[in-house]
Amino acid sequence: MTATPARSRRSRSAIPIALAACLLTVAGCGAEIDENSASEERSVEVRRCGEMVTYHDPQRTIAYEAGSADKMFALGLDDQMLGYVMTPTNPDPSTSPYADHYAKKPLLSDALLNKEVVIQEKADMVVAGWNSGFSEKRGITPEILDSLGVQSFMHTETCYNYPGFPEKQRPFEALYTDMERLGQIYGVEDKASEVVADMNKRMDAVRSSVPSDAPRPSVFLYDSGTDQASTVGNQVPADEIIDAAGGTNIFHDLDERYTTVGWESVVAKNPEVIMVMNYRDKPAEQKIQDLKANPALRDVPAIKNDRIYVIDYNECISGPRNVDGAEKFAAWLAENR
């Protein structure tokens, strides 16, 4: 992948910046707000991964997958959200903590995020992740949307390998950063601070609930796959969920988000717990049957002792439900040590 030279992209506006002539610095994440009283449009400079971008009062936002939509809902930004794009991987929105919010917003597409739906719906903002929604291969990147006058925001968790402007944070730190940056973009900084404070408080409670002398079981997260296994490295929330709850991701040393490994690698790590990710189109029940039928795993402690935990897909992708996932897994481990 060839990165665009930094000189040509640095500090560019997501749309033309004619209204950003009078920027004044405000506190928090390097934001700058346009205080030009002659203009009714609010402008603010906020990082998009490692790049400073000027945002102009987005009012027609498309959210890709539940992680993006949940962040918007948690910040009370329903009115600024046009609708959402959600693939069948995501569990039914009617089962989510934000079911009432989803019921009031249209599903714009159940396919992967694409430029056509953005143009068709006349969106002025898209919230998604790098290589998780945005994709050079599919022809929908922040740079392409910039050229069309459509603003975009990327989940910080996905930024560690963003070409030209990478940014690397631990997954929960990245989640908090997203809430703060979205708060600045949409002018709801106080609400964002409140949401982040609550998340931090709950995560502190999760970590403190794990006895210091408690054994830390090794955990294999099983995403999917039969010939090989799709799992996670240290660049996704599931890794930190496992750690905070008192376990250890057996592939924590991999500097990856999602990756594929051979079954022999799983067996060599001898996991004591298997965490199975539940999709709508690939339910956990079938995955568990596949795991138990796999002869290579016959002697793995997690299979022998039937220590298998099911986690919701939307508790694994960057969003407010990451905290729910950590709380639930910590409670399960406490009962199954």
pLDDT in tens, 208-243: 999 999 999 999 999 999 999 999 999 999 999 999
Q: Is the pLDDT of residue 65 over 90?
A: yes
CA 45 to chain CA centroid, Å, is: 22
Q: How far apart are CA 225 and CA 290, in angstroms?
A: 9
Q: Is the pTM of this model over 0.85?
A: yes
Give 206 or 19, the one with higher predicted confidence. 206
Under the banding of pLDDT at 50, 70 and 90, the label for residue 144 is very high
Q: How far apart are CA 223 and CA 251, in angstroms?
A: 13
Query: Per residue, what are the HEC states of 19-84?
Result: CCCCEEECCCCCCEEECCCCCCCCEEEEEECCEEEEEECCCCEEEEHHHHHHHHHHCCCHHHEEEE
Q: How far apart are CA 311 and CA 240, in angstroms?
A: 14
> Percent of the chain having pLDDT more than 70?
88
Q: How far apart are CA 252 and CA 293, in angstroms?
A: 26
Q: Is the pLDDT of residue 286 over 70?
A: yes
- Which residues contact residue 40 at a Cβ distance below 8 angstroms, ignoring those fewer than 6 apart? none
User: Is residue 154 within a helix (H) or strand (E), and if so which, with residue range?
Assistant: strand 151-154
pLDDT tens-digit series, residues 156-178:
999 999 999 999 999 999 999 99
Under the banding of pLDDT at 50, 70 and 90, the label for residue 154 is very high
